[in-house]
Structure 1
Amino acid sequence: MATLQSLDPHTPMFAQFTQKTGPIVLANTFFVPKERTESFLALFRRQAEFMKAQPGFVSLQMHKGTADSRLLMNIAVWESTEALATAFASPEFQHMVAQSPDDVMSYPHIFERIDV
């Protein structure tokens, strides 16, 4: 299973699920070893298809780092933290998450849009 790391040690991913807010953006950066990129993306596509069918899902887009980077970043929009947390906790999704290789690192964080 991929190793989950917090970008902000004061607000780990599961603590973020407790704040009832929305709409939200989930930015999840993955470090994927080069030899695992294609198999990781195949698994991610299955996960994405599942998430797209869940209540509260809005959109997602995967991005790849430039210059032969090993980083991939998923940007997903959800109606609320509650909708994301429910989808994330589902047994079907957790089964897919468990299939990620141990040497993949995941850095998820939930964001709200603000005015600037």
Structure 2
Amino acid sequence: MAKLQSLDPNTPLFAQFKERTGPIVLANTFVVPEGRAESFLALFRRQAAFMRAQPGFVSLRMHRGTADSRLLMNVAVWESTEALATAFGSPQFQRMAAESPDDIVSYPHIFEQIDV
């Protein structure tokens, strides 16, 4: 399974799941070893298809870092943290997540939109 790391050590993902708010954006940056992006993306596409069918899902985009970067970043919009947490915690998604190789590192974080 991919290693989950926190961008902000004060607010790990599972603590963020407890915050009842929405809509939210999940920004998840993955560090993928060289030469492994296509196999990772094949698994991610299966996971994304599952998530798209879940209640509260709004949209999803994957981005690739430039200049031979090993980073991929998923940006997903959900109606609420509760909807995302329910989908993430489902046994079917957890089985797919367990297929992710141990050398993938994931940095998920939940955001709320603010006015600027």
Provide TM-score, normalisation by structure 1: 0.99
Aligned partner of 2:103 in structure 1 is: 103
Report the residue type matching 1:31 in the other structure.
Answer: V
Number of residue-to-residue matches in the alignment: 116
Q: 1 CA distance for matches of 2:23 and 2:2?
A: 26
1: CA distance, partners of 2:20 / 2:112: 11
SS of match in other structure, 1:115: coil
Q: Which deviations, in whole Å up to 9, do the C-alpha atoms of 1:44-101 show, x marking residues without a partner?
A: 0000000000000000000000000000000000000000000000000000000001
Q: CA deviation at 1:34?
A: 1.6
> CA separation in 1, counterparts of 2:13 and 2:86?
14
Structure 2: gaps spanning 5 or more residues: none
Cα distance in structure 1, aligned partners of 2:22 and 2:31 = 27
Using the TM superposition, give the Cα deviation of residue 36 of structure 1 relative to its aligned residue in structure 2, in angstroms: 1.3
Q: Which residue matches 2:63?
A: 63
Aligned sequence identity (%)? 80
Q: What CA distance in whole angstroms lies between the structure 2 residues aligned with 1:101 and 1:34? A: 13
Q: Displaced runs of 4+ in structure 1, greater than 6 A?
A: none
**Structure 1: distance between partners of 2:28 and 2:9:** 15
1:1-116 to structure 2, matched below 5 A, reads 1-116=1-116
SS, match of residue 82 in structure 2: helix
**Alignment root-mean-square deviation, CA:** 0.4
CA distance in 2, matches of 1:48, 1:75: 11
**3-state DSSP of counterpart to 2:35:** helix
Where in structure 1 are there 5+ consecutive unaligned residues? none
Residue 36 of structure 2 aligns to a residue whose secondary structure is helix
